[in-house]
A and B are shown apart, each in its own frame.
Chain A
């Protein structure tokens, strides 16, 4: 793919940013969603507020590149530095409109597993929930970010770390899934293609997904980044630390 339309990860950043509406309170997280938040702030959502689970509240991106949410540039110029329980309490109150979560495995209901997986018969211990379970349980809606690989898309995840759509849910649930291949609408417990990234075909997606998915005969193409969106991303991630890789 040419520089003009960006790498797939750049596409994912743009798609993530588009999930944020102006004025919303966003549980941000790191990597692609962090870039998406900054992009949204710089474009269509200037009044969005970002919460980080370490207690940091920001209404604009850090002035320097950060590797973790605790890095000093994420503190300097923050609106507030509170405690973890303060931001989790805001989440539990229902004051957080949208939260971003990633996972190692996903199933059709948007359940995510980040705790333990099986690979060729062996159990692989994954790092764990972090704040994933909390965002999945308590945000008004969630946006999921995944590498689109067959081993990650399973009819049933072996362990539900971050619950998706289930009968007992009281609030929220997965709204959108953004992968390396496309954007999917998960509202109401369905799993529908919303758009495919440029150059990605429906067959490729079905082959990379271990369960049936709904799609129109010829799905829309994910709107590529505008030049100014690309310019923003490349300023924010100059080394391509997060957005480099497969184009």
Chain B
């Protein structure tokens, strides 16, 4: 059986890579992809602790399902904002979008 700390280190690594992606990329869509990675890391942790601590009850899987909902809603609305920003400003690099009103 793969021990718990292996899953946690892998999830921490994924979370760190996602954080690096968010902080360093210029393109808004790439930033959103990295946010998806971070959400996945959270999901791995949730399910890992559920499997090792309390596999009998349902809290782990239910929480992971709700993380799916939030991630899907966030991706949908985030990409819609990026598309309308692109329509207004013809560019998606995050540095150009600096004025509060365009």
State yes or no: do A and B come from one complex: no
Chain B residues engaging chain A, CB cutoff 8 angstroms: none
Chain A residues engaging chain B, CB cutoff 8 angstroms: none
